[in-house]
Structure 1
Amino acid sequence: MEPTVGAQPERKLVEMAWDPITRIIGNLGIYTKIDFANREVVECKSTSSLFRGYSVFMRGKDPRDAGFITSRICGICGDNHTTCSVYAQNMAYGIKMPPLAELIVNLGEAAEYMFDHAIFQDNLVFVDFCERMVKETNPKLLEQAERTPAPHADVHGHRTIADIMRSYNPFQGAMYREALQMSRLTREMFCLMEGRHVHPSTVYPGGVGTVATPQVFTDYLSRLLRFLDFAKKLVPLNDDLIDFFYEALPGYEKVGLRRTLLGCWGSFQNPDVCDYKYRTMTKWGRAMYVTPGIVVDGKLVTTDLVEINLGLRILLGSSYYDDWEQEQTFVQEDPLGNAIDKRHPWNQTTLPKPQKRNLEDGPYSWVMSPRWFDGKDHLALDTGGGPLARLWATALAGLVDTPYVKSTGRSVTIDLPRSANYPERRYEWRIPEAGANTLERTRARAYFIVYAAAMAMHFLERAMDLVRQGDVKVFEDFAVPDDGIGCGFHEAVRGVLSHHLVVRDGKIANYHPYPPTPWNASPRDEYGTPGPYEDAVQGLPIFEENGQESFKGIDIMRTVRSFDPCLPCGVHMYLGKGRVLEQRHSPMLGLGAR
């Protein structure tokens, strides 16, 4: 029971937990307190039970190995880590990559966005919206869906909204099965550019090892054109289903709604501008084909990667770590003379402190709490699952202008060329009036799939022009300095990704990767500010028709999964100091501990 507030009746709160959250990860737990009488989630805490320690064991390594090691942070978006690490190393070593190498990396990352977003949307997220799930949680809604014609049936071929829902039934639905086929196609596209999925074998500081021939780009293009047929069905199909939820369930726009605090670190380097120098980072950051930016309450407050970098803070509060305030300071000033805070990733020292989970008034997660300090407040930015923040920041900035994608200051227009079964199509993502909620995070993912496909067409054309001109250089030689610092900014599939590197005496002195999931899954920080999962779930109205006894929490699950959670990136294996239990001599292996 909670205490009575004013004249309000006393609330009866029921504690319910989903641990682990399934589909992708096995170490994210969502712990809630629910008021079933008023159909509301009153409190939420996001926990993680896994720590892996990359920031600890990267120290002392050869910095040239960083991309290969950090790729193993994740078995889903490992290439994003490799790419971001290469960006950080390029800065530390003073490298400008050849233009063709940049385009090859961009093509690989575009294929990764197409692969991962499509398989997550159609095989993981939309299971929450499929006929089987809706029948179990909202049978009245399914009855209405059976009677509701799909507005774009002529494009995607599904007559009613219920038919769309059936197409996402696991292992049987048409879209579910087609997405699996597309996952193979897009992985092949990725491997043509980066050698191996999901841990690239041809991406290094200085460039790539990909052999740039007309054939390799033609092979990529042939697959891309097949994928375009799928993408052209995906957007109208997603719009039909999401718009139906708004119309059939008045008030559903409040599910997963939180204050608009979005962060995007930018993606797809422009080879004409990018030189990886910190002093010019503002310029080349704004030239990216996905614009970096921070959106607060609908306003774009910055597109400056230097400003974004300076505002990064890593807070504790509810995490299983000791503070590092008394530890070594690695970087006092950036190359422009700006002071670097002790809580910045360049200066972080990871000091794990295993302990019992305390959901009432103590630490409860291995995830730290990344925040962005605007000079006044430590903002709990989220990534909108990746696409929402990317599209929102890019739209407001109005800086992207290519033959296929343009940002207008209020929207993003995307033009896809003719493909095997469909003519040219234009799509326009508009800043949603409903705000940053569960449905709009989900909708944005479909639009960013076509965004990535359109940009891939642009990069292919530019790469082929270079090859025809005989410019096939894909690597720039370099030397590792004795001392240096670097920061890489990129968009992992799920959103913001940064790698911060400090080199001393030719070795890694400090290294901190910050993927999107620590931002989204962070617990309450030292100021009591909840992380985005927590913030989006608590206060959430419940539309599920089941009562407490058979409650599945589908609105909660849709909300958490709308962020595209991936906790392996969120926390990084701790073995402790350990102790020898027994030593035995083996004539084959020598003396070893068991």
Structure 2
Amino acid sequence: MSTQVKREGSPIQPPQVVEMSWDPITRIVGSLGIYTKIDFKQRKVVECYSTSSIFRGYSIFMKGKDPRDSHFITSRICGICGDNHATCSVYTQNMAYGVKPPNLGEWILNLGEAAEYMFDHNIFQENLVGVDFCEQMVRETNPSVLERAEKTPAPHADAHGYRTIADIMRSLNPFTGDFYREALQMSRLTREKFCLMEGRHVHPSTLYPGGVGTVATVQLFTDYLVRLMKYVEFMKKVIPLHDDLFDFFYQALPGYEKVGQREVLLGCWGSFQDPDVCDYDYRTMDKWGRAMFVTPGIVVDNELVTTSLVDINLGIRILLGSSYYQDWENERTFVDRDPLGNPIDKHHPWNQTTIPRPQKRDFQTNYSWVMSPRWLDKRSGKHLALDTGGGPLARLWTTALAGIVDLGGYIKATGNSVKIRLPKTALKPEVEFEWKIPPWSNALERDRARSYFQAYSAAVALYCVEKALGEIRAGRTKTWSDFTVPKEAIGCGFHEAVRGVLSHHMVIENGKIANYHPYPPTPWNASVRDIYGTPGPYEDAVQNTPIFEENGPDNFKGIDIMRTVRSFDPCLPCGVHMYLGKDKELQVVHSPTFGGAL
């Protein structure tokens, strides 16, 4: 983590306002920069800009490719959640080809994605976000808080084994904390579960349009289940531990709910298909979308605006705003209307033409390679800067409000909460956790939701294992359906990457890809100010965030800003891929950055 401090004393910028930047800020890939102005007298951030040095050229070099290769290619967009891209691309191809996978193939895919959520959320929460709350970090930034933590008993000590809040913090110290190390071991089990279903992590080898190539046997699901039950037992420790930790910060630092808080503007595209309902036909997309085991939806100020995937699709707009691109208004239109006859906007992904325009960064004009995806709310006519809540917050919020999901006693959405039942394990009895809709969309609640969604994913996996074994016992062992690639077609896939909303839009002409646009959660969360001046979610969440860190400008670490940005689970790809012409490609690889010193 590099911090640059610049002081200016002009009338426009009084002496107490200090410019500070963290570039890179992420502990995963070093391509996200956060530039701020902090008023140390008022103890708050007064201005924030989110920048990215990465140009994603996939929408350019996908053109002309065989559409059957799209899931293998787009998987390489990211070295962390590549399987989410492969899955979303397969969904897109299924629609374009008009193919429905066998039920068993769908259950296997669900189990692979559940394992990915468990793996990624676990390692990010405990080994990356957890460092921001560990004893070493709190000692350096808020020593008075650590002193109070030493004297504060942990309410759920009987469930997780740590007597005080300070003991929890010590367990999160990187490489020395026992909970930190235990989580690393658990990440190995979750990755093994994934490989059982999808062959390889993170770029699956057994995913195809029409189903999967995984050989389905009772032994396969038994091997998965053995690992899953160990994870289920681990969850009975994880959720109480994080509830104690996050609740303590609200108590120790009154007003901490304002850190990372923004208006409730959440988007979720849904996850886990129900093969008894899903046929991948666009014309029935609303029906099978609502049958997903994570309900798609858009929440504005705790109102569930829609659960319709068709509405979600039609409302997507790609605005340029302060990014390094030229508008494509004068380029060709690929799709005039969707299969239901609804008009498609020029700035919809189906019609986007990517025209990069590299330039010098200027915070008054253009300053990032990230565009500004928005969702048009027809009620108000506003282009909403939706965020994903880091993924889990939006998923749980929309599912809770919709009140649709009811998975065989494992998960129940109530209208204002989600109940998650985890069965008896080797050392712990059956437990029911209930995630309740919080009063805020802020940093701590994004982090808390990540713990609960790990349990949610485990419960979904238990349900899907039962369904898969039922298919095998009934003799229905087919996992793949044949298909042909049409000369002309369009398709769209909606899924949830670990960090939130993921969509792929494809246009096929003459049997080849004519247009292809993947939109993962990063462009939504890390988007820049759009053409209407609306800041992106990172920018909005950091701006006006109060500063609780006890250090002054000379020794400022920006922990409240770090917690805000990392609560979104920020992840940008680890390489720039730029298409230069026929058979030429330039790759500039950035080394992973872990944020430097604690």
Deviations 1:145-167 (A, max 9, x none): 00000000001000000000000
RMSD: 1.6
TM-fit CA distance, 1:3? 9.0
> 1:194 & 1:419 partners in 2: Cα distance?
26
* Equivalence map 1:542-581=2 (5 Å): 542-568=547-573, 573-574=577-578
Q: Within 5 A, what are the aligned runs for 1:320-335?
A: 320-335=324-339
User: Which of 432, 436, 459 is the aligned partner of 1:430?
Assistant: 436
- The one-letter code matched in structure 1 to 2:114 is A
Structure 2 partner of 1:585: none
Per-residue deviation, 1:574: 2.6
1:178-193 equivalent positions in 2, closer than 5 A: 178-193=182-197
Residues 280-295 of structure 1 mapped to structure 2, 5 A cutoff: 280-295=284-299
Q: Secondary structure at the match of 1:395?
A: helix
Matches within 5 A, 1:24-423: 24-359=28-363, 361-375=364-378, 376-402=381-407, 403-423=409-429
Give the Cα–Cα distance (whole angstroms) in 2 for the partners of residues 96 and 237 of structure 1. Answer: 42
**Runs of 4+ off more than 3 Å:** 1-5, 9-12, 575-578
* SS in structure 2 at match of 1:455: helix
Task: Tell me if the contact between 1:334 and 1:340 (Cα under 8 Å) persists in the aligned partners.
Answer: yes
Q: Secondary structure at the match of 1:419?
A: coil
- Tell me the distance in 1 between the aligned counterparts of 2:474 and 2:75: 34
Task: Provide TM-score, normalisation by structure 1.
Answer: 0.95
Give the number of equivalent residue pairs: 574
Cα displacement (A) at 1:4: 7.9
Q: Indicate if the aligned counterparts of 1:320 and 1:366 stay in contact, CA closer than 8 A.
A: yes
Conservation of the 8 A alpha-carbon contact between 1:54 and 1:572: no
Name the amino acid aligned to 2:517.
H
Separation in 2, partners of 1:277, 1:26: 39
Please state whether the residue corresponding to 1:567 is helix, strand or coil: coil
> Where does residue 481 of structure 1 map in the other structure?
486
Q: TM-score, normalised by structure 2?
A: 0.94
Deviates more, 1:279-288 or 1:223-232: 223-232
Distance in 2 of aligned mates of 1:281 and 1:577:
37
- C-alpha offsets along residues 154-193 of structure 1, whole Å, 9 cap, x if unaligned? 0100000000000000001011101110111000000000
Match of 1:454 among 435, 456, 459: 459
Distance 1:502 1:2 in 2: 54
Give 1:538's aligned residue. Answer: 543
Q: In structure 2, how many angstroms separate the alpha carbons of the residues matched to 1:2 and 1:454?
A: 56
Give the C-alpha shift of residue 317 in structure 1. 1.4
- Contact 2:60 2:579 (8 Å CA) reproduced: no
Q: Does 1:528 align with 2:530?
A: no
Question: Which segment is superposed worse, 508-517 or 416-425?
Answer: 416-425
Conserved in 2, the CA contact under 8 Å of 1:73 and 1:572?
no
Distance 1:11 1:525, change over 3 A: farther
Deviations 1:486-539 (CA, angstroms, capped at 9, x unpaired): 000000000000000000000000000000011000010111000000000000
The code of the aligned residue for 1:369 comes to S
Alignment partner of 1:429: what SS?
Answer: strand
Aligned residue for 1:114, secondary structure, equals helix
Q: SS at 2:406's partner residue?
A: coil
Q: State the alpha-carbon separation in 1 of the partners of residues 538 and 56 from structure 2.
A: 21
The CA distance in 2 between the partners of 1:185 and 1:12, in whole Å, is 50
1:442 equivalenced with 2:447 (yes/no): yes
- Which residue identity is paired with 2:55? F
The Cα shift of 1:52 comes to 3.0
Is the Cα–Cα contact under 8 Å of residues 17 and 37 in structure 2 kept in the other structure? yes
Take 2:78 and 2:226, find their aligned partners in 1: how far apart are those partners?
A: 29
- Separation (CA, whole Å) in 2 of partners of 1:506 and 1:14: 56
| Secondary structure of residue in 2 paired with 1:573 | strand
Q: Distance in 2 between matches of 1:436 and 1:96?
A: 37
Tell me what 1:503 maps to.
508
1:315-367: CA deviation from partner (whole Å, max 9, x where unpaired) = 011000011000010000000000000000000000000111112x1110000
Structure 1 runs not aligned, ≥5 long: 581-594
Q: Distance in 1 between matches of 2:18 and 2:276?
A: 57
Give 3-state SS (helix, strand or coil) of 1:223's partner. Answer: helix
For residues 106 and 412 of structure 1, the distance between their equivalents in structure 2, rounded to whole angstroms, comes to: 20
Letter of the 1:377 counterpart: K
Q: CA offsets, 1:413-440, max 9 Å, x none? A: 000011121110000000002x100000
Secondary structure in 1 matching 2:453: helix
Aligned to 2:499: 494
